[in-house]
């Protein structure tokens, strides 16, 4: 990545898509609600009391799973490096 032409103070503005504009307008048009009377649809504290706490051990990968994911990551990185090298050779700059 080259930062030769980088201008720290440069501002870039991109127009919002019509779908995002519509969502922002819909949120702005919502009626105000008194926070003291508002009842959330999901209360995390109630959920925590009603269910067992989540434990890290429940989501920990076994050594075999870790090895499999590591092998997949190595293959993917090699593939990306090979494609990048091919792209550089095809461009002719060799860098």
- Average pLDDT value for residue range 69-78: 97
- Average pLDDT value for residue range 37-43: 86
Residue pair 88/95 in contact (Cβ under 8 Å)? The answer is yes
Q: What is the pLDDT of residue 71?
A: 97
With the CA atoms of 13, 19, 21 and 27 taken in that order, what torsion angle do they form, in degrees rounded to the nearest 10?
-140
Contacts of 58 (CB under 8 A, 6+ apart): none
pLDDT category of residue 44 using cuts at 50, 70 and 90: confident
Highest mean pLDDT among 26-30, 52-56, 88-92: 26-30
Q: What is the pLDDT of residue 8?
A: 65
pTM for the complete prediction?
0.39
């Amino acid at each position: 990545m080259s930062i030769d032409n980088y201008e720290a103070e440069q501002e870039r503005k991109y127009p919002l898509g019509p779908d995002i504009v519509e969502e922002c307008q819909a949120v702005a048009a919502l009626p105000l609600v008194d926070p003291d009377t508002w009842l959330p649809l999901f209360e995390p504290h109630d959920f925590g009391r009603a269910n067992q706490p989540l434990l890290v051990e429940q989501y920990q990968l076994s050594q075999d799973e870790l090895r499999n994911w590591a092998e997949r990551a190595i293959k993917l990185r090699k593939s990306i490096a090979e494609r990048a090298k091919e792209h550089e050779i095809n461009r002719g700059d060799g860098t």
